[in-house]
Amino acid sequence: MLHTLDIAGMVCPNNVFLAPMAGYTNYPFREMCRALGAGLTFTEMVSAKGLHYKSEETKQLLLCGEESPKAAQIFGSDPGVMREACESEALKDFDLIDINMGCPMPKIVKNGEGSALMENFPLAEKVISACAKSGKRISVKFRIGTDGAHKCAAEFAKLCEGAGACLITVHGRTRDKIYAGPPDYAEIAAAKAAVRIPVVANGGIWSLKDAERMTERTGADGVMIARAALYRPTVFCEFTGEAEPPLFALFERELEETRRLYGDRFALVFMRKMAAFYLKGRHGSARGKQRLFATQSVGELSLLARELLAPEK
């Protein structure tokens, strides 16, 4: 199923992407996944208002390097502010700007952002159109609807294409399901059939087998992997056929890069969480997580992770 994907002249080396995940897809994690085989990675979702008010914390989410291609995800509901974000210096190095219209979290939805825009087609269209006028490549990530009685993947896909998006990613669950339950293949297939631009499918993809099932049933041009990468970033190696590097070695490199970019305190807190993800399914993982969260320094965390993440015999 692996092949290159052309998105309005931006050629991705393959069609298996890393999803934007708030609180997790910082630069070191994205770079690790890219090195392991992800064809495109996305930043955490970035507030357009945060960029408007020149929030340094918001800008930190956009740290990147010389990798290419690369994508950022933004969210907001004010067309003017969203266009301003796309034209900003902070996003100038990104080849693709993705608009989040799928986030189900109440604090986002209550502000009329994320998946709330799926309930306001006219405003969603204005937001996408305004962003497209920036001259940047624009994609949209959305869900198949708000609940089982209000599915609209095909209609929303057409809206996105008509407003100027050059790619859509469809999360195959409704907003009320959050991340639970199987993806709705029929709705994703309907979205794919409704447009001519590339369609990437998201939701419930934990392995190569899951991805193959997804593309076979939906006709999607590619897949986007989210939580599976948090637990096992080497999942991308299943697609490329490359040998999986030792997990503890990947962790140590990620820890050092996170420390270099964000400092010791952030690295300790963030990488304790990542090590806990990487422990999933291992013998003694519950006790291992307790030990991880008791560490008080980056050095202590590094030594413990080497022990806990060593290849199991």
What confidence category does residue 313 fall into, taking pLDDT thresholds of 50, 70 and 90? Answer: low
Query: In terms of domains, do 137 and 283 share one?
Result: no
What confidence category does residue 239 fall into, taking pLDDT thresholds of 50, 70 and 90? Answer: very high
Query: In terms of domains, do 137 and 186 share one?
Result: yes
Chain segment 24-34, per-residue pLDDT in tens: 999 999 999 99
Residue 267 lies in a domain: yes
Chain segment 120-160, per-residue pLDDT in tens: 999 999 999 999 999 999 999 999 999 988 999 999 999 99
Q: What is the tally of structural domains in the chain?
A: 2
Query: In terms of domains, do 152 and 104 share one?
Result: yes
* Catalytic residue of the set 12, 33, 86, 103: 103
Query: In terms of domains, do 220 and 184 share one?
Result: yes
Q: Do residues 37 and 18 lie in contact, with contact meaning Cβ atoms separated by under 8 Å?
A: no
Q: Do residues 184 and 144 lie in contact, with contact meaning Cβ atoms separated by under 8 Å?
A: yes
The model's pTM is 0.95
Query: In terms of domains, do 253 and 174 share one?
Result: no
Residue 313 lies in a domain: no
Residue 62 lies in a domain: yes
Cβ neighbours of 38 (radius 10 Å): 27
Query: In terms of domains, do 226 and 301 share one?
Result: no
Nearest to 205 by CA among 177, 176, 175, 230: 230
**For position 280, which CATH number holds?**
1.10.1200
pLDDT for 59 equals 87
Average pLDDT over residues 27-45: 97
Q: Examine the residue annotation and report whether 166 is marked as an active-site residue of this protein.
A: no
- The residue segments making up the domain with residue 91 are 5-240
